[in-house]
Amino acid sequence: MKITRVDAVELRRSTEVHWGVIGWLWVRIHTDEGIIGLGETCPASTVEKAVVLNDLAPRMIGRDPRDIEAIWHDLFRAVHYRGWAGAEIRAISALDVALWDLLAKSVDLPLYRLLGGQSWDSIPVYNTCYDDAYDFNTHPVELARELAAAGISAMKIWPFDGVGERNHGQSISKAEIKACMEPLRKIREAFGDSMQIAMEFHAYWNLPCAIQIAEALEPYKVMWLEEILPQDNLAAYATLSKKCRQPLCVSERLLTRWGYRELLENGAASIVMLDLAWCGGITEAKKIANAAETYYLPIAPHNCSGPITHFANWHFGIATPNFLILETVRRHYGERYVPIATSTGAPVNGKLGLPHGPGLGVELKPEFLGSDRVKIESFPSNA
């Protein structure tokens, strides 16, 4: 089996998050046996597409797609010399997921069977609360009630972001802390401990502010504090971990197994968060999860992009012994994935059961690929 063509399928505007517009990029790896593998990355689809088509795809043509480990290392070496921790590793991530999808399709099995087999009958999910019908800052109880009615018992909110952006993360007053904690207080009053609450901080804060916020949140027994500091100085996270008693969740912005090495060694994290579409794909995610397991740490993947990453995380979770919980976005699987993908991967009663195959068990809809919403370019261009 040989790779004959690589497609880059770009959706420049898929959604909008706290920092701006997100673009989704899919890659389709074609073979001489007619099997096509599908992968995905984000958020800067235009630059990621350039890396795929100009730097990586030319090195894949004629290769056996089943040589996943060798291809990963060859692609990584191709961009390593100029600094790889950006669009380069995200592009490799998309291609790597596509190679795993292709491999599982070639043997007519669901992907999780090739990742070690079934570790779980199902995996739990939590809801990341952006773009919901109710704003968690103004209607937190109504939002939590909707989630609970759908069987979802964990949610993630970020009520400190407004102050963090306004103050550039350099200061926070007691009055500001109290105001930011109002959504959390209201949810706890209405639901007690039956609704888990993860706190996202989008890396806005300096160390003294992070310590203040962590201390103020202690009575609420939150699920975790996520990215309360930037990920660039993991020694600062080690200091924070000694100052607070709540679990620290770090960090989808670390890339490859080397990016997680210091975090694991310094003991700062209680939960390891990775992103399959950013960290180097399934190949690297498995290595990061295995390394975390040696420190008795669970994995909780970042998963708020497109449908292919969602399904890749689903298979990865089922096959990973130290898997804790999967991030999901209701607006994505309830609406955005519907015109794009052949399946949306919606959870049932707060869980995802065993995924189907072959491969990832999901494709881009032909009508979506043929629409004016996407731009498709290929290497070689005349294939």
Specify the amino acid at residue 61.
Answer: I
State whether CATH 3.20.20.120 applies to domain 113-352: yes
- The predicted model gives 93-119 an average pLDDT of 98
Q: Where in the chain is the domain with CATH 3.20.20.120?
A: 113-352
Would you identify the CATH topology of the domain 3-109+363-379? Enolase-like; domain 1 (3.30.390)
Judge whether 131 and 331 are in contact, CB under 8 Å: yes
Judge whether 204 and 164 are in contact, CB under 8 Å: yes
Report CA torsion sign: 311, 314, 319, 323: positive
Packing angle, helices 307-319 and 87-106, rounded to 10: 70
- The predicted model gives 274-300 an average pLDDT of 98
Distance of CA 155 to the CA centre of its chain: 16
Q: What local confidence, expressed as pLDDT, does residue 155 receive?
A: 98
Judge whether 14 and 42 are in contact, CB under 8 Å: yes
pLDDT digits (tens, 9 = 90+) for 16-53: 777 778 899 999 999 999 999 999 999 999 999 999 99
pLDDT digits (tens, 9 = 90+) for 252-261: 999 999 999 9
Judge whether 25 and 10 are in contact, CB under 8 Å: yes
Residues 6+ apart with CB under 8 A from 178: none
Q: What is the mean pLDDT of the chain?
A: 96
Judge whether 322 and 295 are in contact, CB under 8 Å: no
In Å, what is the CA distance from 173 to each residue of 86, 163, 209, 373? 35, 10, 9, 46
Q: What local confidence, expressed as pLDDT, does residue 191 receive?
A: 97
Report CA torsion sign: 362, 367, 372, 375: positive
CA–CA dist 252, 303 (Å, integer): 9
